[in-house]
Amino acid sequence: MPPTTIPVKSRHVAVVGAGAAGLVAARELRRDGHSVVVFESGNEVGGTWVYTPHVEPDPLGLDPKRPIVHSSLYSSLRTNLPREVMGFMDFPFVTRPDESRDPRRFPGHREVLLYLKDFAREFGVEEMVRFDTEVVKVRISESGKWNVQSKKTTCFSNENEHKSKVEFDDEIYDAVVVCNGHYTEPRIAEIPGINSWPGKQMHSHNYRTPEPFRDQVVILIGSSSSAVDICREVATVAKEVHVASRSVADETYTKQPGYDNLWLHSMIDNARDDGTVVFRNGKLVLADVIMHCTGYKYHFPFLDTKGIVTVDDNRLGPLYKHVFPPALTPYLSFIGIPWKIVPFPLFEFQSKWVAGVLSGRITLPSQKEMMEDINSFYSMLEAAGIPKRYTHCIGESQFEYNNWIAAQCGCQGVEKWRKPMYSAASVNRRLRPETYRDEWEDHDVVLEAYEDFVEHTS
Ligand code: FAD
């Protein structure tokens, strides 16, 4: 639907989270004339990209009462996407002329954090953020507005002691935009017999460095970018590393080229109380550790929608185009739910859409039409045999999705070079998992991107 010419409304909006999604949401909301408060439980912006060596006390992340460590980054992590593709549309992620910065095309995690901090500074986002303030409850109030309860923790320390003060706040907002990220709550593989298996289990959320695995026999489950990185890193110190993947044939058993202690197997069949693990290919391994690199769950412990929005087998719904729950539209929205995507630009498009809808510049279809759209999307997934948990995996269709949102907003869509660069990086990553971050062939597309960046960097 094209933007309308009706007078715009200014709303009081709470944004939950100051990661990449919350930062761009705050910028777009303010650009559209809304008053914005961003709640951030940490003490700096950047979300996932704020690396910490700390891990959670429950290595599998099953205890709902455990103290939460938000970031899942490991120390050696370099991006799995080229920086040109990763950046926001109007704030390119280019190399900075500063020796302390990482100039590589696939930089280390610190460079991404510094980029997000540059973004926050450039657009004055930090002044909207309440740090060390966790949103503990979001619910619809009697007036039909949103009640946001938050908890601010202030720490004091002197030579002798550390103290903290906790203050609770209860406020009313017209709208809430949820940007709390979805790489913190581990998903675990189900393994028959695991309860009597005597070894150690953990999730990659709590992996930081390879050293604890020296001389150990490690089984790693998964085949995502993180799994590909971690298994190779662990293999530099471990006695043996065995990767179990559900995306290979049952008979698979191959040694990874270039390694004498790294094997690829089909999925685990069962684990036994004598410490052995049996794979579907029939191999038996006596292992010390099983590391689940099996992804994460959507998790909104603070959100009370009286059952209107639920998470079922990692499907968050019902959501119109992964953003708006029809019955609560437009006063509740979610930024950053899709996965297998280029996150920052997608967040930017979604944020423009939410800001424009809240101000009344952009009209959504009726509740009934949105529900029909969601139901036909679910039917399409079912007919194609796509499991529920893949509802928000949009992969290749992300560019079409972004352009569709851009058309709703009446703004420019995805640049011509972004999709071919993303595709080239994906192919390169698959073909050269060891070296894709330092060797590539899409030089012409890189040039095209930099020609585009001139508009925003000069
Ligand atoms: P987050 O960055 O997780 O931010 C959410 C914020 O919300 C956090 O600051 C958190 O403290 C805050 N928060 C949560 N709950 C509350 C609450 N109740 N109250 C207040 N604050 C709260 N993307 C790429 O583009 N390139 C890559 O190479 C890449 N590699 C990745 C590698 C790993 C291991 C992981 C886990 C992710 C990677 N990503 C990558 C994806 C990355 O998650 C996104 O780039 C992006 O940072 C997600 O931003 P977000 O704002 O949605 O969530």
Q: What separation in angstroms does the CA of 124 have from each of 17, 24, 266?
A: 16, 11, 50
Give tens-digit pLDDT for 297-347. Answer: 999 999 999 999 999 999 999 999 999 999 999 999 999 999 999 999 999
How far is residue 27's CA from residue 179's CA, in Å, rounded to a whole number? 13
Residue nearest to atom 49 of ligand 1 (CA): 20
157 pLDDT tier (thresholds 50, 70, 90)? confident
Q: How far is the CA of 182 from the centre of ligand 1 (A)?
A: 7
| CB of residue 92 inside a 6 A radius of ligand 1 | no
Best probe residue, ligand 1, of 49, 110, 151, 180 (max atoms within 8 Å of C-beta): 180
1 band by pLDDT with thresholds 50, 70 and 90 = low
The rounded distance, in Å, linking the Cα atoms of 89 and 336 is 16
| pLDDT per position as a tens digit, 424-452 | 999 999 999 999 999 999 999 999 999 99
Q: How far is the CA of 181 from the centre of ligand 1 (A)?
A: 5
Q: Does 318 sit behind a cis peptide bond, omega within 30 degrees of 0 on the bond before it?
A: yes
Mean of per-residue pLDDT scores for the chain: 96
Q: Say if residue 4's pLDDT is above 60.
A: no
326 CB near ligand 1 (under 6 Å)? no
Tell me how far the alpha carbon of residue 20 lies from the centroid of ligand 1, in angstroms: 7
Q: Ligand 1 pocket test: pick from 37, 48, 76, 303 the residue with the most ligand atoms within 8 Å of its Cβ.
A: 48
Nearest CA to ligand 1 atom 27: 79
Task: Find the 169 Cα to ligand 1 centroid distance in Å.
Answer: 25
| Beta carbon of 87 within 6 Å of any ligand 1 atom | no
The ipTM value here is 0.99
Whether 51 is in the pocket of ligand 1, judged by its Cβ within 6 Å, is no
Secondary structure (3-state) at 421: helix
Q: How far apart are CA 207 and CA 60, in angstroms?
A: 11
C-alpha 103 to ligand 1 mean position (Å): 22
For residue 173 the two structure tokens come to 């907002």
pTM value is: 0.96
DSSP string, 94-109: PPPS-TTS---SS-BH
Residue 161 confidence class, pLDDT cut points 50, 70, 90 = confident
- How far apart CA 58 and CA 46 sit, in angstroms, is 24
In this predicted model, what pLDDT tens digit does every residue of 59-82 receive, in sequence order?
999 999 999 999 999 999 999 999
pLDDT digits (tens, 9 = 90+) for 20-47: 999 999 999 999 999 999 999 999 999 9
Q: How far is the CA of 340 from the centre of ligand 1 (A)?
A: 14
Which residue lies with its CA nearest to atom 12 of ligand 1?
A: 17
Report whether residue 39 contacts ligand 1, using a CB cutoff of 6 Å.
Answer: yes
206 Cβ inside 6 Å of ligand 1: no
- Verify cis geometry, omega within 30 degrees of 0, for the bond prior to 7: no
Identity of residue 84: E
